[in-house]
Structure 1
Amino acid sequence: MRLSILLITIAGITLAIWLITQQGLDNVIQAILSVGWKGILAVVMTHILQIIFSGIAWRVLFHNSWSPSIPAFVHARWIREAMDNLIPMVVAIGGTFIGARLLTLRGLKSSDASASAIVDLTAEAISHIVFTLLGLGLLIHSGYHGQIVKWILIGLTVLIFSIFIFILIQKSGALLSVERFFSWITKRFSISNALKGLHNNIQGFYRNPKAILTCIYIHFIAWFLGSFEIWFILHFAGVPTSFTQAIILESLGQAIRSAGAMVPGAYGVQEGGYMILSSLFGIAPEMGLALSIVKRLRDIILGIPALIALQVLEYNKKQVKSII
């Protein structure tokens, strides 16, 4: 399994490198440099806002019950994104549950943290669909009716069906069966059962539709803020772009990245997606690559401190255990 993930990752990185060499390494570097440190700083600051809104969306699920403060959820979201973006080959969507584990260190029960992570992930996926539909609608309204529209509609159909199945699994007794299995394992080997109560807690969150809808809405705002990243990159690079075009590029670019989720980090997929979408507005392909690369630079700038923070937390936890 790990070998196949490694091979897919290498294939994705190889594709990204090939796309860059096809456009000329010097041209791509010049496109990135044209954004400048001010543009990169604007992108980083915008993404910090996205992380804050995503953390708030997660916290909203606990509207009528005790939970850690908003900063705790923002912190968990920050580290969760770092894991998913910088170590996708090892973690995959595991960053979501690492974020949930961090909340348990703040006093939240494991089952509550895990259940909220699953429901939050579902709400975020639904908001992503809405954001993609917004971008697709704006693209069609602009007069474009090419093949990209058809493929994105196919991708959206698959995504909607996948989320429907995911919600069905959560609402059915499937997770309860998993919970019972782990309960049997923990009893047999006398270890802690972190999944106990997971199914019931998920149902508890879904019994508060107002909180779910609010969570979806705030996640949508976080997705929408990503449009400013695109606009800032192109603005500082001196490429005239309307904000409507920035929304289209961000929403459909993220949709293509999600469609390439089977490739860890969407390496190559994200780069190719922004190249294709940028060409719709007459933007040079090397600038389309720059959009993707600047976003990856943003992930590194914000992600490395998050991974260091995680290691510090793990070290401190071990120190406390050794003292006890």
Structure 2
Amino acid sequence: MKHWTRIGILLATLAGLGVAVWTIGAAGLREVFGTAGRMGPTGFLLYCLWSLGVFFLLGGAWFAAAPDERGRSMPLSGWPLFAWARMVREAVSDLLPFSQLGGIIVSVRTLTAAALPSTRVHASLVVDMTTEMASQLAYTLFGLALMGSLLIGDGAGAQLRPAILGGTFVMVAIILLFFAMQRTALDFATRLAGRFVPGSIAMANIRTELSRIYAQRDRVALAFGANLAAWVASGIGAWLALRWMGTHASVWDVLALESLIFTLRSIAFIIPGALGVQEVAYAFVGPLFGLPAETALALSLAKRARDLAIGLPTLLVWQANEIRGVATGRGK
């Protein structure tokens, strides 16, 4: 990456971080920290550690989708690197006003900067995102099955029926479109690159790498399983957070609640961190599972506090690496 490009990214990130801090502060930074205080220092620390474990599952999914040319995984020492890339991706998506796309771009940059082959990083990203969305659909269907009676009846759940079912439909449509178009889009990009940039083979290499990874079904299945485990572990983390705040709820209810919250969040993927959308979703869906709106909102704020506790140091370390690159002139 060129020197001035690095400086541009650094300045944009610092500006974005300032906007993010102001936005979260305007939304109630005191309430966020107050909710974390309800968990107690030990409880909040354990919640953050549990979330770090989820990142290792997410990193393991991407790691599984990036086998070498002989179909084997890289040495296990590469696993933490993929977990770190996922942490950077989530930190950028949750705390900076760059939406999900910005987080994806930065995570790819994190891996390619570590000297991993660009074609493998990009192709494995496509496989990882596909299996992540497919596993989210499975998790959502599980939540829908648990609350089926609420959706069928005419009670309070009926008010949220259009949003929940609509969100599920949108998710299914995106997954099918993403899966159906990924190879077609790469073929089109390859032809376009060949037409306007003679000798360009980058897109063709990614297309070939993608086909090679998909041919290894055990790797794809492992990526799907790791992503599904991460969704479930995230739901269990929410259940633990409620217990540390003194609220005792059924783990099955919380898992179902979390699956539907993520479904509603997926509709607002353009909004950075789903700021505001997440809180409204918890306030409306929580009572369906026996959680008062105040308690459900407290869970959302606890997640915001965790995102700050993990995301801010992650962004600072990431930016320190970028600053080091600018200072040394690396990649001129």
- Alpha-carbon distance in 2 for matches of 1:101, 1:182: 21
| Alpha-carbon distance, 1:313 to partner | 1.9
CA contact (8 A) 1:32 1:294 kept: yes
Q: 2:120 aligns with which of 112, 115, 126?
A: 112
Note the C-alpha offset of 1:29.
7.5
Residue identity in the other structure for 2:275:
Y
Stretch of structure 1 that moved more, 113-122 or 45-54: 113-122
Q: Distance in 2 between matches of 1:30 and 1:111?
A: 45
Matches within 5 A, 1:58-207: 58-63=62-67, 64-65=71-72, 67=74, 69-87=78-96, 89-140=97-148, 145=153, 146-147=157-158, 148-172=160-184, 174-182=185-193, 195=203, 197-207=205-215
Q: Is the 8 A contact 2:232 2:255 kept in 1?
A: yes
Q: Contact 1:81–1:95 (CA<8 Å) still a contact in 2? A: yes
1:187-239 deviations in Å (ceiling 9; x for gaps): 69xxx986562222222222222211110111000010112222122112222
TM-score by length of 1: 0.82
Quick check: 1:101–1:110 contact (8 Å CA) kept in 2?
no
- Which residue identity does 1:238 align to in structure 2? G
**Stretch deviating more after TM superposition (280-289 or 177-186):** 177-186
Q: Post-superposition shift, 1:183?
A: 5.6
Task: Tell me which amino acid in the other structure corresponds to 1:50.
Answer: V
> Matches of 1:307 and 1:317 in 2, distance apart?
15
Aligned to 2:275: 267
Q: Which amino acid aligns with 1:81?
A: E
Is the CA contact (8 Å cut-off) linking 1:53 and 1:222 kept in structure 2? yes
Aligned with 1:229 (options 234, 237, 241): 237
Residue 129 of structure 1 and its aligned partner are, at CA, apart by 0.7
Matches of 1:32 and 1:316, distance apart in 2: 33
Find the aligned partners of 1:323 and 1:58 in 2 and give their Cα distance.
26
Of the three residues 236, 243, 249, the one matched with 1:241 is 249
Matched, 1:38 2:42: yes
Q: Distance in 2 between matches of 1:110 and 1:139?
A: 43
Aligned-partner residue type, residue 234 of structure 1: L
Contact 1:80–1:99 (CA under 8 A) maintained in structure 2: yes
Partner amino acid for 2:323? Y
Q: Deviations over 1:20-48 (max 9, x none)?
A: 8xxxx98x886554322233222211110
Q: Secondary structure at the match of 1:239?
A: coil
TM-score between the two structures when normalised by the length of structure 2: 0.80
Give the aligned residue type for 1:299: D
Q: Supply the distance in 2 between the matched residues of 1:321 and 1:195 (Cα, whole angstroms).
A: 29
Q: CA deviation at 1:301?
A: 0.9
Output the aligned Cα RMSD.
3.0
Q: How many residues align?
A: 302
Once residues 201 and 216 of structure 2 are traced to their aligned partners in structure 1, the CA distance between those partners, rounded to angstroms, is: 26
CA distance, structure 1, for counterparts of residue 331 and residue 213 of structure 2: 37
Identity of aligned residues (%): 29
Distance, in Å, in 2 between the alignment partners of 1:323 and 1:51 is: 29
Stretches of structure 2 that go unaligned for 5 or more consecutive residues are: 1-15
Deviation at 1:73, TM superposition (A): 0.9
Change (3 A) 1:97 1:233: same
Residue 3 of structure 1 corresponds to none
Task: In structure 1, list runs of 5 or more residues that go unmatched.
Answer: 1-5
- What amino acid is the match of 1:132? T
Any idea what the Cα deviations from partners look like across 1:151-187, whole Å, max 9, x if unmatched? 3222212211111111111132x22222443466666
Structure 1 contact 119–202 (Cα < 8 Å) conserved: yes
Q: Does the 8 A contact of 2:257 with 2:289 survive in 1?
A: no
Task: Tell me the equivalent position of 2:290.
Answer: 282
1:255 maps onto 2:263 in alignment: yes
Residue aligning to 2:12: none
Mean Cα displacement is larger for which, 58-67 or 179-188?
Answer: 179-188
Question: For 1:201 and 1:50, how far apart are their aligned partners in 2?
Answer: 27
Contact 1:129/1:160 (8 A) holds in 2: yes
Assess, with a 3 A threshold, how the Cα gap between structure 1 residues 310 and 181 changes in structure 2: closer, same or farther. farther
